Amino acid sequence: MIASEAELDVDLRTILCEAYFGDATPSLLARIKLYAMLSNVGWSLYCAIQAVVLSDESYWDEATGFWKAVVEALDSDEMPSMLRAVTGG
């Protein structure tokens, strides 16, 4: 997910959304944020597995960092409005 990996700010995510989808609706912008969160879940799991498999503690630090970003996103004041934007509710 380029928006997450490139750490794009709101303005650049909007430009990316418009270039890719032809529009930057609240629903599409919310999806970008939610997919970025899911990307962090995946990276957190990958790093945790690598920490165990490779016995490399540095991966735990990365896993923790990614997971912290997930928890912050879930706890954010934006989460309810993002979920409403993508579900239409």
Write the pLDDT tens digit of every residue in 37-65: 999 999 999 999 999 999 999 999 999 99
Indicate whether 68 pLDDT > 70. yes
18, 52 Cβ separation under 8 angstroms: no
Q: Could you tell me the pTM of the whole model?
A: 0.85
At 1 the pLDDT is 67
Per the CB < 8 A criterion, the answer to whether 89 and 30 are in contact is no
Residues composing the chain: 89
Q: Encoding tokens for residue 39?
A: 């990307």
pLDDT at 89: 75
